[in-house]
Structure 1
Amino acid sequence: MRNIRGFERCAAIRRSAGLIAALLLAGCAAQPSHEQRGSLRIEGAGQPNAQRQAALKAYQDVRGARFRGWLNESALVATRFGELTQLHRVARPLGMREQLTFGAQPASLAWPPPVADAQGFVFASDVGGSENYQLFWFDLASGAATLLTNGRSRYTGVRWSRSGALYAYSTTERNGRSWDIHVRAPGGAPRVALETDDVGWYVQDIAPGDERLLLSRYVSIGETYLYELSLTGGGLRALLDTHSKIGIGDARYARDGAAVYFSSDLGGEFRRVQRLDLATGRIEALTDAIPWDVEAFAVAPDGGTLALVVNERGLSRLALLTLPERRLLALPELPVGVISGLAFSSAGDRLGFTLSGPQTPSDAFSVDLSTRKLRRWTRSEMGGIEADSLVVPEPFEFDTFDLGRDGSVRRVPAFAYRAAGPGPHPVVINIHGGPESQHRPRFRHFTQYLVAELGITVIAPNVRGSFGYGKHYLGLDDGFAREDSVRDIGALLDWIAGQEDLDVQRVAVLGGSYGGYMSLASMVHYPDRLRAGVDLFGISNFVTFLEGTKAYRRDLRRREYGDERDPEMRSFQERIAPLNQVDRIAGPLLIYQGLNDPRVPAGESEQMVAALRARGIPVWYIVAADEGHGMRRRSTRDYVYSATAEFLARYLLDEPE
């Protein structure tokens, strides 16, 4: 088979100019062997080992389910029984999953109306991972799904009114960049509620009476603005001081519409739930006693209960707070893990959510508010693996290179998934993306496989810039401090060298998206300390990334990474780019990329692969023609992680080809 894509890539490079183009052309001189496997193009990868693949398959067979809301008396969940995730209805706890959607593309986002007699629900789906989500109406009576949107633009963030008579959402329909707000009644035509010149506008809530929208404008994780829009007069007013930069998470109207609850780091390091009186402007903190981020909350339909999810060192804690008394209610013990997707039932008698833990795949749960009993709606299949055999990560901290605000050595939080036995064990450093994300102890099938089957200890650091440790820590990697987070990896390598059960001579690094950049940058800065690297759809040059990412998200990323149009910042970004420092990389890399990625464009991986090959560095390159930012098809995910297992076996474990 001819290397068509390689020829196209080289032709594009020949039309460019400069040093990087010269390096890339050198990489075109000798195209590696390749294989076409369905939509996957595989270049330079080794052949799978049957025994390893059989062991990995059990972990790949583990299934999960995510709670998407209450559909009358049933739970609406997203789960996968074949190649793609689809939406299912579960009529009772641990009942049968009834598949509702059967599209040729994944359907995992859904918004059922918060009423007791819903006739259907809105869901979203895109094509090939493009993230140009289209909205559909699913009719419960007929089982038919009807396209509601234009088939081209991006529509997301649906929010229903309490009456179920109206829903609102964000869209780029007008010009492909600006985030406008549309409102719509079920069965009716859309109406433009707000046109903007900005990005990052979201609908947070619809006021009782359906005449006002609560909106937020996200600039960065530490800068969000809250507004109220009149649907009758069209007036838009800021609800908080627009001169103060604060991070805001959820925001909801009180039951009477006279106040707004919002989670924010206003006045502190961590996000607290606060109450804003819309008439007086008075702000009152409701969760002062909680010294961690309230990462999500939901208000009961009667307004008398606030459900909170607290992020405590990466673990979720569920709490119920009575209003206005602010009394904490006792709750049943939950499995250790991460909670998301809070939603009260229309009657307010049940609180549903998703829970995922190291020994528990994502599943749908609820708490009965009258009995305070925990009910499990789905029990996902474990692929023959015993849950008790799965490793629970140990939280720890390590010293890094600089001092904290109190003058003591700064410490970086991390999780260690330790292999059994005395060791010394090889290590994979798994770096999260975001960058304002956080490694948390969810179920991770590949991590569990590496630990149990290959004897690898996996360490997941939450380097500076990670969410969950206060807004000061969150901002430590901004702008010209970008490479300080890479220096945290150097400090982690120092810590590994001091552990008797870890083999400092056998360490690899792995990450996706921004974590992919961190993997590449770590390979640049620590070539004599890292055996190999895995870069999943990562950034190789912030300049080309910002110029190539989709227009509707470009300004959001400039706030985090710096504006490449500023000469000083551009020079800095070019200087730190792994693409421009390929000559410092010594170890082999596995790189995966979805061709339809709207976030990190495919060119980021393409140019890195060519530059590495020009230097003679071994590269295993996997390209998916029908994926975007990630791996949503099971066949893609299974192959990429199978190849990664082979890559690590060869280059980290020193197993023969």
Structure 2
Amino acid sequence: MTEFTKYLSLKLDSSKENLYVISDETGKRELHSYNLKDDRYVKVSNEKENVKNYWFEDGGLLIATDFNGNEREQLTYFKDEETVQLTSDDDYYHHYGIHMNGKFIFLRHHKDGKTFELVEISNGSRKVLNSFDTPVSITGKFDDYHILMTQAVNNIDKTVCLYNVDENVLKETGLPAGRFGSYRSLNEAEALFTSDYLEGHLNLYKLNKNTFEFKKLTYFKWDIEKVIVLEDKNTVIFEVNKQGFSKLFKYNVQDDLLESLDFYSRGVIHSLVNSNDKLYVLYSGMVTPHAVYEFDLTKNSTVKLFGNEDIDIEIQTMHATYPSFDGLDVPYYLYEQKGSQRGTAIHVHGGPESQARPEFNELYYKLYKEGYQIAVPNIRGSTGYSKFYIGLDNQEKRMDAAKDVVALRQHLIDHHQSDKDNIFIMGRSYGGFMTLLLITQFPKLWKGAVDIVGISHFTTLLSNTPAWRREQRSHEYGFIGEHDEFMQCIAPLNNTQRIRTPLRIFHSHHDVRVPFSESVQMYEKMTEENKDVELTAYENEGHQYLYTENQDDMNTKLINFFNELTE
């Protein structure tokens, strides 16, 4: 059974009296509120499906839900006693943007199409303002007449544009293409944003809103991720992702003064909001379950408001790097067991443009209690370590990333007492692909393998992926018609005859990122060859498993699988 609650998306309402957070304590994701005056914690949503996101708009509450994890995100608006269903079309994905001039403005695109439509809803009527053939996103309100938007260049970079809501015209700002985020307006003339302009790390920049000239304000060799501007419109609080660990800083824009804040720095800040001199932080660490804390900027003190209790066992953790086959230093986290000849699980994260971070993971906790070490690498291609590092696994460099995992396996044997005959490999999404790649390309190294919503063949994935996603993923995985030979060569589906490792596959019927067919074809091929393989499929999930019942089922089966092979 699930022992810990997962909290997500902490926000403060317009009254500044209530914190809101998405929680799965009821068995699925629901919206809850916490009153800062009387500590009252209550469930405020009553949706049939999981709550995916929410916003406070025009004195009301806007909630996004989807059907069985299909990511369509239908929008419902609640104000006083009135409920308005803004969207209910399950053929479209909806990406909420802003409330502006009395209108809800958002993006949508058809599940099978490529065109993105900019839509406004006002007084019950819906109007398509414009359409775009390239994936676009709404960043925020620029002024009363313009929306700041970004347009995808590839799977990483974006161009920044202004959309004129009166003329219905999108124009480029002239800002360079790159990663762009955390746009925060300071006043009519200036704003802040984060980007990797000029070098490969996300730093803070000041923007002249009239000329679009920009100035770099910080020079971290790590990424700035979460940014909030305090009420004085001069003091900025931001999180630096240093080797995965969150570190809070305070920055005075006018005086160009930077100071670190004495908040917890051995874990991850998942959400950050403020009210005057109080910061409210959703935080977890490798041995610290999710909870919400209040940090007083004047007193430099931290108080826990609500969340999980501490874990009931002692877990040894560490963070380090190891040399890969070509000398590249690859970072990893380790949940380390004492003693020699330890069974070890290596878990590869998804993305691959993502990052494993030192946050609380209940599966790792349960595996550790069973006696396993867990190693979690950020192999080449991961974010958080410079733009150069992100690009090291693209397309025909894929096998280099796999060799990173092989090098980690040997490092664990040599330096952390891992039993060479009892090492498991597992991963989710792209990590599932990497799992399948490793058991087909390096079949003698693994005791067992677990593939969760993984890819079995890049060509079939791209062929069955909606057009709007195909080009972006091709920049990472390879283009059909250009990289066919390589994709066919490394495809796990084409190399099942080499597998010697028992494999357990988990997938779901409503996955829109990695189609269910990716797991079915792998399972059927291995079954025909009399390989040791099992497939578990969940009827009410998508790419992420949101129901705790399904999480419990998968975790139990995974641990039993490891234990049976270890005995």
Q: TM-score, normalised by structure 2?
A: 0.94
Per the alignment, residue 255 of structure 1 pairs with 187
Counterpart amino acid of residue 88 in structure 2: N
Whether the 8 Å CA contact 1:330–1:372 is kept in 2: the answer is no
Counterpart amino acid of residue 432 in structure 1: H
Counterpart amino acid of residue 414 in structure 1: Y
Whether the 8 Å CA contact 2:155–2:472 is kept in 1: the answer is no
Counterpart amino acid of residue 331 in structure 2: P
Q: Give runs of aligned pairs for residues 221-240 of structure 1, distance below 5 A.
A: 221-240=155-174
Larger relative contact order, structure 1 or 2 (CA cutoff 8 Å, min sep 6): 1
CA deviation profile, 1:296-321 (whole Å, cap 9, x unmatched) = 22233442122211110010111121
Whether the 8 Å CA contact 2:249–2:261 is kept in 1: the answer is yes
Q: 1:247 to 1:127 in 2, by over 3 A?
A: same
**Partner secondary structure for residue 433 of structure 2:** helix
CA deviation profile, 1:10-34 (whole Å, cap 9, x unmatched) = xxxxxxxxxxxxxxxxxxxxxxxxx
Whether the 8 Å CA contact 1:255–1:301 is kept in 2: the answer is no
Q: 1:176 to 1:296 in 2, by over 3 A?
A: same
1:107 aligns with 2:51: yes
1:202 aligns with 2:146: no
Whether the 8 Å CA contact 2:190–2:209 is kept in 1: the answer is yes
Deviating more after overlay: 294-303 vs 95-104: 294-303
Q: 1:280 to 1:268 in 2, by over 3 A?
A: same
CA deviation profile, 1:208-229 (whole Å, cap 9, x unmatched) = 4x32111112344531111111
CA RMSD between the two structures: 2.2
Aligned partners of 2:448, 2:109: CA distance in 1, in Å?
A: 40
Per the alignment, residue 358 of structure 2 pairs with 441
Per the alignment, residue 206 of structure 2 pairs with 275
Counterpart amino acid of residue 630 in structure 1: Q
Deviating more after overlay: 127-136 vs 267-276: 267-276
Q: 1:576 to 1:352 in 2, by over 3 A?
A: same
Per the TM alignment, residue 160 of structure 1 is displaced from its structure 2 partner at its CA by 4.6
1:133 aligns with 2:73: yes
Whether the 8 Å CA contact 1:87–1:101 is kept in 2: the answer is yes
Per the alignment, residue 178 of structure 1 pairs with 115
Q: Give runs of aligned pairs for residues 430-509 of structure 1, distance below 5 A.
A: 430-451=347-368, 453-499=369-415, 501-509=417-425
Q: 1:527 to 1:573 in 2, by over 3 A?
A: same
1:62 aligns with 2:4: yes
Within the candidate set 129, 138, 150, 1:216 is matched to 150
Aligned partners of 1:246, 1:93: CA distance in 2, in Å?
A: 43
Gaps of 5+ in 2: none
**Partner secondary structure for residue 512 of structure 2:** coil
Per the TM alignment, residue 372 of structure 1 is displaced from its structure 2 partner at its CA by 4.6
Per the alignment, residue 37 of structure 1 pairs with none
Taking only the aligned residue pairs, the percentage that are identical comes to 26
Per the TM alignment, residue 236 of structure 1 is displaced from its structure 2 partner at its CA by 2.1
Whether the 8 Å CA contact 2:97–2:106 is kept in 1: the answer is yes
Compare the two structures and name the one with the higher strand fraction. Answer: 2
Q: 1:167 to 1:316 in 2, by over 3 A?
A: farther
Aligned partners of 2:37, 2:463: CA distance in 1, in Å?
A: 48
**Partner secondary structure for residue 227 of structure 1:** strand
Q: 1:178 to 1:415 in 2, by over 3 A?
A: same
Per the alignment, residue 192 of structure 1 pairs with 128
Whether the 8 Å CA contact 2:349–2:427 is kept in 1: the answer is yes
Aligned partners of 1:174, 1:649: CA distance in 2, in Å?
A: 41
Q: 1:238 to 1:176 in 2, by over 3 A?
A: same
Per the TM alignment, residue 500 of structure 1 is displaced from its structure 2 partner at its CA by 5.6
Per the alignment, residue 551 of structure 2 pairs with 637
Within the candidate set 577, 590, 593, 2:504 is matched to 590
**Partner secondary structure for residue 103 of structure 1:** coil
Q: 1:373 to 1:188 in 2, by over 3 A?
A: farther
Q: 1:245 to 1:233 in 2, by over 3 A?
A: closer
1:97 aligns with 2:41: yes
1:549 aligns with 2:470: no
1:360 aligns with 2:278: no
Per the alignment, residue 78 of structure 1 pairs with 22
Per the TM alignment, residue 580 of structure 1 is displaced from its structure 2 partner at its CA by 0.3
Per the alignment, residue 425 of structure 1 pairs with 342
Whether the 8 Å CA contact 2:134–2:152 is kept in 1: the answer is no
Per the alignment, residue 85 of structure 2 pairs with 147
Q: TM-score, normalised by structure 1?
A: 0.81
CA deviation profile, 1:457-490 (whole Å, cap 9, x unmatched) = 1111110001111111110001211121001112
Whether the 8 Å CA contact 1:111–1:159 is kept in 2: the answer is no
Aligned partners of 2:366, 2:174: CA distance in 1, in Å?
A: 48
Aligned partners of 2:434, 2:196: CA distance in 1, in Å?
A: 27
Per the TM alignment, residue 393 of structure 1 is displaced from its structure 2 partner at its CA by 2.7
Q: 1:295 to 1:561 in 2, by over 3 A?
A: same
Per the TM alignment, residue 368 of structure 1 is displaced from its structure 2 partner at its CA by 4.1
Per the TM alignment, residue 349 of structure 1 is displaced from its structure 2 partner at its CA by 4.6
Aligned partners of 2:146, 2:111: CA distance in 1, in Å?
A: 22
The number of equivalent residue pairs is: 564
Whether the 8 Å CA contact 1:69–1:112 is kept in 2: the answer is no
Within the candidate set 276, 280, 285, 2:216 is matched to 285
Whether the 8 Å CA contact 1:169–1:202 is kept in 2: the answer is no
CA deviation profile, 1:323-352 (whole Å, cap 9, x unmatched) = 22222355342262111333344xx45443
**Partner secondary structure for residue 263 of structure 2:** coil
Q: 1:156 to 1:74 in 2, by over 3 A?
A: same
Aligned partners of 1:275, 1:390: CA distance in 2, in Å?
A: 45
Q: 1:263 to 1:107 in 2, by over 3 A?
A: same
Per the alignment, residue 40 of structure 1 pairs with none
Whether the 8 Å CA contact 2:248–2:260 is kept in 1: the answer is no
Per the alignment, residue 317 of structure 2 pairs with 393
Whether the 8 Å CA contact 2:65–2:75 is kept in 1: the answer is yes
Per the alignment, residue 16 of structure 1 pairs with none
Q: 1:261 to 1:333 in 2, by over 3 A?
A: closer
Aligned partners of 2:329, 2:416: CA distance in 1, in Å?
A: 21
Per the alignment, residue 376 of structure 1 pairs with 304
CA deviation profile, 1:162-216 (whole Å, cap 9, x unmatched) = xx9554322115984322233446x5544434321112x11111124x3211111
Counterpart amino acid of residue 284 in structure 1: K
Per the TM alignment, residue 398 of structure 1 is displaced from its structure 2 partner at its CA by 1.0
Counterpart amino acid of residue 549 in structure 1: T
Aligned partners of 2:394, 2:24: CA distance in 1, in Å?
A: 38
Per the alignment, residue 328 of structure 1 pairs with 258
Q: 1:637 to 1:500 in 2, by over 3 A?
A: closer
